[in-house]
Amino acid sequence: LPLFEYLSETQSTQAPLKLAGMDVQPIGSNKKDRPRFLAESIAALDPVYAQDIHDLDSTFLAVYAKGSKSRRAHFRSPEGKNMLTGYEQFIDYLADQPMQEGSSFSTMLVAQQTARSLAWYIRQQTAPTTKEYVENRDQGMAENLRFIADVLYPDEKIIVWGHNFHIRHDNISIPPDSVMFPNVAAHTMGYWARSWYQSDLYTVGFYAHEGTSMDNGGNIFTISRPSAGSLEHLLYDPDSEAVFADLSQASGMGPTAWVTTPITGRYNGETPLSLIPKDQYDAIVLINTASPREMLY
C-alpha cells in the first residue's frame, strides 16, 4: 500500500512513477474502454475499418464474460479463429501506416501492441498442450515487457513485478510437481527477458520462512516452517525481518556452494521444488514471517 501511495504522490512531480500492466490476460474493469480506444486509434485513417475493430473487440469482451470454459470453446471454433485473424490483420494494418512522433503515434503503437497481446491470449487459450498454454502466455508477457522497455520508455529504468514462477530465468529446468499446475516443465517470461537483456536484467526471487498467505481465490493458507536443508531454512535469520542474498556476487564455492547446486525452495510457500538458485535469480529475498494481503474492496 505505501508503494501505491508513493506512486500517486509522484504524479504531480517532474518525475512521475508510471505504472503499466504486461499480462496478456485481460483482467480488470478498464477493458470495457478498449474497443473505443482501438477504434479511435485509426478513426481518422479509416472510419469504416475503425467500426469493424470496435465490433471485433466488443465481441471478444462478450465472449470473455461468459467464463473460461465457454470462451475456450469459442476461441477454438471457426468464429474464434476468425477473431484471431482479425487482430492479426489489425496489427499488420497499423504496421503499414506511416507513424510520426506525437500523441497519435503513441496511441497507434499502444493499440498495435494491445492487439498483439490479445492475439497471444487467444493462442494461449487454444493451445493444444499445457506447455504451449504456459509458454504462449509468458512469451506474450515478455513481448509486452519488451515493448514497454524498448519502444515506449527506452531510456527509463523499469521495475517488473511478477510471481517467482514467471520471472525465473530457467524455469524449464525445474522438475514440476505432478499435482501442481502447471505439471509440465516450460519456459516462462524470465527466460525471454534474460535472453534479451542479459546483464541489464537483475531478477530477485521472493520466498517466505513461515507465516500465512492468500491464494488467487482469496483463501488464506499457512506457510509452515521449512524443512532442514531447504533454501528457506538456509537463509533464515531469526533476528531479521528479511534477508537479502545477492547470488550474482556469490562464487558458488565453500559456504556459497548452495547457490550453484540443486536445493529445495517452496512454490507459493507450499510445494517444494528443486532448483539451482543462481540459474534462476540474481538475488533472493527471504521474508521471515509473511502475512496475506488485505483486500480494500
pLDDT in tens, 21-68: 899 998 777 789 999 999 999 999 999 999 999 999 999 999 999 988
Supply the pLDDT for residue 112: 96
Cell numbers representing residue 203 in the block: 531478477
Supply the pLDDT for residue 103: 57
The β-bridge partners of 207 are 286
- What's the rounded Cα separation, in Å, for the pair 98 and 46? 14
Percent share of the chain, pLDDT over 70: 98
Supply the pLDDT for residue 208: 98
Check residue 97 and report its DSSP letter: S
Query: Which of 284, 282, 263, 280 has its CA nearest to residue 188?
Result: 280
Query: Which of 140, 96, 107, 119 has its CA nearest to residue 39?
Result: 107
In this prediction the pTM is 0.92
Residue 100, pLDDT > 90, answer no
- What's the rounded Cα separation, in Å, for the pair 169 and 189? 8
Q: What is the pLDDT of residues 73-86, one digit of tens each?
A: 999 999 999 999 99
**Average pLDDT of the chain?**
94
Please give the backbone phi and psi of residue 10, each rounded to the nearest 5 degrees, phi first: -75, -15
Q: What is the pLDDT of residues 268-290, one digit of tens each?
A: 999 999 999 999 999 999 999 99
Q: What is the pLDDT of residues 9-22, one digit of tens each?
A: 999 999 999 998 89
Q: Using an 8 Å Cβ cutoff, are 232 and 209 in contact?
A: yes
Supply the pLDDT for residue 106: 86
Supply the pLDDT for residue 65: 92
Q: What is the pLDDT of residues 239-249, one digit of tens each?
A: 999 999 999 99
Supply the pLDDT for residue 229: 94
Supply the pLDDT for residue 179: 86
Predicted confidence band of residue 252 (pLDDT cuts 50, 70, 90): confident
Residue 164, pLDDT > 80, answer yes
Which uninterrupted H or E stretch holds 286? strand 283-290
Q: Using an 8 Å Cβ cutoff, are 122 and 87 in contact?
A: yes
| Per-residue CA distances from 208 to 219, 231, 249, 253, 260 (Å) | 17, 10, 22, 25, 21
Q: What is the mean pLDDT of residues 166-190?
A: 95
Q: What is the mean pLDDT of residues 213-227?
A: 94
Supply the pLDDT for residue 102: 56
